Structure 1
Amino acid sequence: MGHDQRDTLKDYWSRDEQYYTPFYRNTMVRDRFLHILRFLHFENNDAPPNRDDPEYDRLWKIRKIFDNLNNKFCELYNPAERLAVDEVIVLFKGRVIFRQYIPKKRKRFGIKIYKLCDSLGYTYDMTVYLGKQRQLATEQITSTHGIVLQLIRRVEGLGHKIYMDNYFSSPALFDDLLDRKINSCGTVRNDRRGMPQDIRPKSMKLKKGDVVTRVKGHLSVVRWKDKRDVYVLTNLHPPPLEGNFRDESGHAVKPHVIEDYNAHMGFVDKSDRMVNSYGIARRTWKWTKKLFFHLLDMTILNAYLLHKSCGGKMTHKKFREVLVRDLILESHEANLTVSGVSRGRPSSSGAQMVRLEVKHSQHWPAKGKQRRCRVCSQNKKRKMTFYYCEKCDVALCVADCFRRWHTRVKV
């Protein structure tokens, strides 16, 4: 449904000629679908955990699903060398104690998820913000420091390079990551603990294009004056030269460290755009369903990116369409097996019954390479065609053979 957006769920089963699509009716009755959706739960609400328990988990209603997906994301993929840490907001205006309000964001209300993504937009690891008292802060580290350490725990010692914004960056965190063989780069707030005092605006006035650098051990702090002051912390790049550098047109030249940061920091935003491009979730759902279907969209996107990384040529939308058709066909085959039509080793007659059992409206002709028509061949006629059934992947003449293949046992 994500690739076929409609205002209400009932529109998918509407008989109005503007909306009528037999595919949904032939797959599942509307009331059955709505009942399943209504009673969709992932834990037993009659046996909730004790809220007074110090270990109480606010995500308990969906924790098992979340952790299982998170583990699979890491298990099935080796991420690229360069990764980015950032936050995304799952739009939600209902009632839940860990809902966030961020006035400067386009999505002001919602559930915050911290993600670790690579250049493809693949979500490798994630964690949900559950409130200040639920964060990973200790006496030694801040909550944002703890979030980053949790997200990178599966890539420690592998030589990755991490990019992050000033919400996370700090000298203490970068030193900690370097001890784990991870280099880092990110914008940073000038009042973070460990930042040099003499590089702050009160200590030093800069003109547009000026670059100032301070170095301590493996860490470099770069202040560059653009329309406003930009502070970058890095142990990934050599410290840039100080001065004011301009091109032939007189425009200020960005230091390489800032260009590199801009090129790699958008991985999480890229993932979020792709997830939301065919989003399934509806505005009025409870937070558990909202988060579950967001995770489902994320899972489909990760599956598509795995397909693409292995040389697949399908678009994201086409991948979702093929996935839906394959799942429905698999469901029909399972129903036939349970009902006793096909048990044990598959036979040719069983395959024929599966072919006829699936509704014709789910099969569509498509144009491809020229091949011999299957129906004509079985009738000892040599006839070539450019058309084939998209679901069956069988070459068929559109005029008559397509209908015969999907409506008769003996074609």
Structure 2
Amino acid sequence: MGHDQRDTLKDYWSRDEQYYTPFYNNTMVRNCFFHILRFLHFENNEAPPNRDDPEYDRLWKIRQIFNSLNSKFCELYHPSEHLAVDEVIVLFKGRVVFQQYIPKKHKRFGIKIYKLCDSLGYTYDMTVYLGKQRQLATEEITPTHGIVLQLIRRVEGSGHKLYMDSYISSPALYDDLLERKIYTCGTVSNDRHGMPQEIRPKLMKLKKGDIVTRVKGNLSVVLWKDKRDVYVLTNMHPPPLDGNFQDESGCAIKPHVIEDYNAHMGFVDKSERMVNSYGMARRTWKWTKKLFFHLLDMTILSAYLLHKSCDGKMTHKKFHEILVRDLILQSHEANITVRGISRGRPSSSGAQLS
């Protein structure tokens, strides 16, 4: 269904000439598919946890599957040196208490997931944002500080290089990550706690191509003027020289730290594009089903990237097609085996012989 997008699920089993595809009828009866989909659950709804419990988990309906897949993603793969942390949105416009609205995203409404991805687009770790944290953020610690520390817990001490955007970056977070032997680079808001006051835009008038650098210990703040002011925080690059740098045509020359950030920050977006390439999610589904099928697409992508990391030559599309055929073949073989098992009471003649 991910390769064959149709308006409704019933269209896949339609006998109309413009829709008819024998594959779906030969694989599963329509009513059987809808029956399974209707009763697809992942926890016992008759014994829900207490909402007033301080340890109440808003993701409890799908937590077991989420944690199981997340652990497997980490267990089966060793990420590359460069990693990126960013947020993605699983489109969902229904009712759920931790639904997010992000105007700048293509999918503005939905469930927010923070992901840690490497250069292949492999999701090494992830966590669902479930609303405001119980502990209040201070001026020094941003709300995303703890989320990033949670995502990197399995790679700390390995010397990885991590990239993040201005929504996540802060000097306190970079210092924390450096103590865990993770080097960091990313854009940053100029009003974050710990940022130098003297390079704020109200105090400086910069021309196109200007570079201003401030250094404190291992941490460097770089202000670069292009069409707008760009602030970059890094502890993995040597601080660039101050001055005005333009090419012969008058265009601002990017410092190396900006080029490096642009080259590596898109790992999470790359992963999300590949996950959504062959998705089959529907708008009318409940959030649990929506999230489950997104995790299923993510699992298939992870399997493909594992195949690719072992010098596999298949394309993403071909991998999907072969996987579907093999799963259907295994299912049919299992059904034949089950049908071959005799059921009911043994015959009286057989009992006498024994």
Q: Under a length normalisation based on structure 2, what TM-score does the superposition of the two structures give?
A: 0.94
The answer (yes or no) to whether the contact 1:212–1:223 under 8 Å persists in 2 is yes
Q: How far apart are residue 249 of structure 1 and its match?
A: 2.6
Task: Please name the residue that 1:306 is paired with.
Answer: 306
The answer (yes or no) to whether the contact 1:123–1:302 under 8 Å persists in 2 is yes
Task: Please name the residue that 1:181 is paired with.
Answer: 181
Task: Please name the residue that 1:25 is paired with.
Answer: 25
Q: How far apart are residue 289 of structure 1 and its match?
A: 0.3
Q: How far apart are residue 118 of structure 1 and its match?
A: 0.6
Task: Please name the residue that 2:216 is paired with.
Answer: 216
Task: Please name the residue that 1:113 is paired with.
Answer: 113
The answer (yes or no) to whether the contact 1:210–1:242 under 8 Å persists in 2 is yes
Matches within 5 A, 1:11-90: 11-90=11-90
Residues 254 and 180 (structure 1 numbering): CA distance in 2 closer, same or farther, change over 3 Å?
Answer: same
Aligned residue for 1:35, secondary structure, equals: helix
Output one character per residue of 1:206-227: Cα deviation in whole Å (capped at 9) or x when no partner: 1111000000000000000111
Q: How far apart are residue 137 of structure 1 and its match?
A: 5.1
Aligned-partner residue type, residue 76 of structure 1: L
| 1:126 lines up with 2:130 in the alignment | no
Output one character per residue of 1:249-296: Cα deviation in whole Å (capped at 9) or x when no partner: 332101110010001000000111111111121011000000000010
Distance across 1 between alignment mates of 2:250 and 2:22: 63
Matches within 5 A, 1:12-411: 12-133=12-133, 141-340=141-340
Q: How far apart are residue 136 of structure 1 and its match?
A: 8.7
Residues 86 and 231 (structure 1 numbering): CA distance in 2 closer, same or farther, change over 3 Å?
Answer: same
Q: How far apart are residue 317 of structure 1 and its match?
A: 1.2
The answer (yes or no) to whether the contact 1:121–1:267 under 8 Å persists in 2 is yes
- Tell which has more relative contact order, 1 or 2 (C-alpha 8 A, sep 6+): 2
166-175 vs 306-315, which deviates more?
Answer: 306-315
Task: Please name the residue that 1:369 is paired with.
Answer: none
* Aligned-residue RMSD, C-alpha: 1.5
Runs of 4+ in 1 over 2 A off after TM superposition: 133-142, 336-342
Aligned-partner residue type, residue 229 of structure 1: D
Distance across 2 between alignment mates of 1:6 and 1:331: 25
Q: How far apart are residue 335 of structure 1 and its match?
A: 1.7
Aligned-partner residue type, residue 124 of structure 1: Y
Output one character per residue of 1:162-187: Cα deviation in whole Å (capped at 9) or x when no partner: 00000111111101100000000000
Aligned residue for 2:201, secondary structure, equals: coil
Distance across 1 between alignment mates of 2:220 and 2:82: 19
- The runs of 5 or more residues in structure 1 that have no matched partner are 343-411
The answer (yes or no) to whether the contact 2:206–2:225 under 8 Å persists in 1 is yes
Residues 140 and 209 (structure 1 numbering): CA distance in 2 closer, same or farther, change over 3 Å?
Answer: closer
Aligned-partner residue type, residue 105 of structure 1: K
Aligned-partner residue type, residue 161 of structure 1: K
Distance across 1 between alignment mates of 2:188 and 2:99: 26
Q: How far apart are residue 318 of structure 1 and its match?
A: 1.2
Distance across 2 between alignment mates of 1:135 and 1:91: 28
The answer (yes or no) to whether the contact 1:137–1:146 under 8 Å persists in 2 is no
Q: How far apart are residue 340 of structure 1 and its match?
A: 3.0
The answer (yes or no) to whether the contact 1:214–1:221 under 8 Å persists in 2 is yes
| 1:2 lines up with 2:2 in the alignment | yes
Distance across 2 between alignment mates of 1:62 and 1:135: 24
Residues 28 and 138 (structure 1 numbering): CA distance in 2 closer, same or farther, change over 3 Å?
Answer: farther
Aligned-partner residue type, residue 331 of structure 1: S
Task: Please name the residue that 1:362 is paired with.
Answer: none
The answer (yes or no) to whether the contact 1:136–1:146 under 8 Å persists in 2 is no
Aligned residue for 2:88, secondary structure, equals: strand
Residues 150 and 213 (structure 1 numbering): CA distance in 2 closer, same or farther, change over 3 Å?
Answer: same
- The runs of 5 or more residues in structure 2 that have no matched partner are 343-354
Aligned residue for 1:213, secondary structure, equals: strand
Residues 138 and 33 (structure 1 numbering): CA distance in 2 closer, same or farther, change over 3 Å?
Answer: farther
The answer (yes or no) to whether the contact 1:136–1:147 under 8 Å persists in 2 is no
The answer (yes or no) to whether the contact 2:140–2:193 under 8 Å persists in 1 is no
Matched pairs, number: 342
CA radius of gyration, larger in = 1
The answer (yes or no) to whether the contact 2:188–2:232 under 8 Å persists in 1 is yes
Among the aligned pairs, what percent are the same residue?
Answer: 86
